[in-house]
Structure 1
Amino acid sequence: MPGNDQSCGVLNEPRLVERKFLARPQHEGAGAIVRRSIGRFELKYFDPFLVLDEFSVTAPAGFPDHPHRGFETVTYMLQGSVTHEDFEGHKGTIGAGDLQWMTAGRGIVHSEMPAAQGTQKGLQLWINLSSKHKMIEPKYQEMLSKNIAEAVEDGIKVRVIAGESLGTKSPIYTRTPTMYLDFTLKPGTHLQQPVPTSWNAFVYVLEGEGMFGNLKSSAASAHHILLLGKGDGLEAWNKSSKPLRFILVGGEPLGEPLVQFGPFVMNTQEEIDQTIDDFENCVNGFEKARHWRSESALSLDM
């Protein structure tokens, strides 16, 4: 992707934290608990990002059969495992550290349900698609934890889910240009990570406590999202005595009109109305929804 040099280096204009708030638990799906930071009333949309959920599910709770159109979902497991099924016959289970990058495109109906005992935890990010990509065929990119690119340097470990860091690149293809980096900083570590200047970017803290933007900023702890201002990258410090883990996500803004109705995201109200009609009548990408139910849904009927 042009202009997408994301390897670590010296920053000329580090991005400062413009907004910071705590993602509080809320109910979603069928009995699932999510901490939603993007896609809530304080932050409806952070172009091109529609939703960021840190989810926690314990069977029989989960996310039963539901549709999508017009965007991508990125599921990154932190603990446990989840089984995904869809009406195209695709089925698979992703465990801790595994990744699924799903392009819903013109339409998909799927389920995401716990695949193990205990609590399953992970992150799900929704990335908007440009108008020219909204009606493409659905597609999956899946990657086991052992195959996700990693790099370690001077007390910094990074898992490169999308984009590039510490000279290591991800093979994931992003239709909307995106970087997604999972950093762990040892105590006393300082990070400088470039981000393309035209992109929007945010940090979501998973574990520990860190300082972002500059050393005068207040420390941010787990479940906080930090929206970054303009600049050429992120500076972060771990001044605590415990490891700091966070994701840094950036994307090129689409700058297009957005109309959302639940799991459907298009550019105009007319397109949303058409999508609802397509789904209800099982046409134009939703043909297989007429007779399909996931195995997990069928088991509940028995």
Structure 2
Amino acid sequence: MANVVRDPRPVVRKFLARPQHEGVGATVRRSIGRFELKYFDPFLVLDEFSVSAPAGFPDHPHRGFETVTYMLQGAVRHEDFEGHSGTIEAGDLQWMTAGRGIVHSEMPASEGTQKGLQLWINLSSKYKMIEPRYQEMNSRDIAEASKDGVRVRVIAGEALGIKSPIYTRTPTMFLDFTLKPGSQIRQPIPESWNAFIYVLEGDGIFGTARSSAVSAHHLVLLGSGDGVEAWNRSSKPLRFILVGGEPLGEPVVQYGPFVMNSQEQIDQTIEDYENCANGFEKARHWRSESNVVFGY
């Protein structure tokens, strides 16, 4: 992907992601998946989460989509009913394909406050019932590049000439940019994709040079074009994620942690989960160690 942007995308909408309660005692700033923006094809949810023990996300199911967990601070322990477990620390990535069904827990694994991002990416109808799988990367293994005051961590896709090895069933880019004061970036985005920016730190200008600055915890939806331009005109570093994905253009029916294409499929999913069948068989006798430790 050449680093050329001929038709920059404008900002078409922006809003502040306000804190709300999720899980058991956890706080999230949800920007996609709330009343202002229920769905941004193919993205279902974007949460900036903050959690301290014993709060967390104890045993819960998923079906029909992928979750991308990217840690910003602290650590979270993950366990599922397939026997997979591990700890995701600051800078680490877990790309989980829930597929036909998974039950897992995500709980604090260190003292203090754990912070991170979790993005839910929808799966097309042909992939919703595939077997669960994981792609995990330690922080040191995530591809990085720096140029002219800009540093990027390539979670998925390509930027500044480097590519991520992560495989995305729904074509997706996920880039973590840090711009030093006075720097700017032009990043190509496939024209047919939807794309957004979420600001983590500092104040940034996006779309056009005359746009007003956008501060932390704001979601910025981008319009049509072949890329995005961003500037840091403040005296402090600017950090934001740029996420883009190819729209699926399929019906979406969501019931909490289940995302399918019809109400009939949702009804079947609820029945499968309640009866521990059709992908949820192992849920009948499984309980995470974290649930035992924290008394859930």
From the superposition, tell whether residues 120 and 300 of structure 1 become closer, same or farther in structure 2 (CA, over 3 Å).
Answer: closer
What is the deviation of 1:185?
0.4
The answer as to 2:12 corresponding to 1:18 is: yes
1:99 counterpart residue number: 93
Aligned to 2:69: 75
SS, match of residue 191 in structure 1: strand
Q: Please give the secondary structure, in 2, of the residue aligned with 1:133.
A: coil
The Cα offsets for residues 227-264 of structure 1, whole Å up to 9 and x where unpaired, read as 00000001000000111000000000000000000000
Structure 2 residue 261 is the aligned partner of structure 1 residue 233: no
Question: Separation in 1 of the partners of 2:235 and 2:294?
Answer: 47
Matched residue, 1:40 = 34
Match of 2:160 in 1: 166
Question: Which residue matches 1:258?
Answer: 252
When the two structures are superposed, what TM-score results if normalisation uses the length of structure 2? 0.99
Quote the residue 2:54 is aligned against: 60
Decide which of 72, 78, 83 is 1:84's aligned counterpart: 78
Q: Deviations over 1:92-150 (max 9, x none)?
A: 00100000000000000000000000000000000000000000000000000000000
Letter in 1 for 2:274: E
Deviations 1:208-231, CA, capped at 9 Å, x for gaps: 001000011110010000000000
Q: Identify the residue that residue 154 of structure 1 maps to in structure 2.
A: 148
| Aligned residue identity for 1:291 | H
What is the CA-CA distance between 1:297 and the residue it aligns to?
Answer: 1.0
Deviation at 1:205, TM superposition (A): 0.2
3-state SS, counterpart of residue 197 of structure 1: coil
Residue 223 of structure 1 corresponds to 217
Q: Distance in 2 between matches of 1:250 and 1:154?
A: 23
Q: State the shift of 1:10 in Å.
A: 2.8
- Identity among equivalent positions (%) equals 80
Determine if contact 2:54/2:294 at 8 Å carries over to the other structure.
no
Match of residue 269, structure 1, among 263, 266, 277: 263
Alpha-carbon deviations, 1:160-206, whole Å to 9, x = none?
Answer: 00000000000000000000000000111110000000000000000
CA distance in 2 between counterparts of 1:301 and 1:149 reads: 39
Q: 2:189 aligns with which of 163, 178, 195?
A: 195
Matching residue's letter, 1:216: R
Structure 1 gaps, min length 5 = none
CA distance in 1, matches of 2:14, 2:160: 26
Distance 1:228 1:114 in 2: 34
- State the shift of 1:298 in Å: 1.8
Matched residues in 2 for 1:260 and 1:68: separation? 11
Residue 141 of structure 1 aligns with which residue? 135
Whether the 8 Å CA contact 2:71–2:88 is kept in 1: the answer is: yes
Structure-2 change in CA distance of 1:170 and 1:282 (3 Å): same
Q: How far apart in 2 are the matches of 1:268 and 1:218?
A: 41
1 CA distance for matches of 2:43 and 2:284?
Answer: 30
Structure 1 position 301, deviation (Å) = 4.1
| Mapped partners of 1:81, 1:266: distance in 2 | 31
- Provide the alpha-carbon RMSD of the alignment: 0.8
Amino acid at match of 2:190: P
> Residue 285 of structure 2 is aligned with which of 282, 291, 297?
291
Q: How far 1:299 moved relative to its partner? A: 2.4
Give the counterpart letter for 1:173 in structure 2. Answer: Y
Q: Would you identify which runs of 4 or more consecutive aligned residues in structure 1 move more than 4 Å?
A: none
Structure 2 unaligned regions, length at least 5: none
Letter in 1 for 2:41: D
Which letter does structure 1 place at the counterpart of 2:197?
Answer: V
Give distance in 2, aligned partners of 1:248 and 1:301: 38
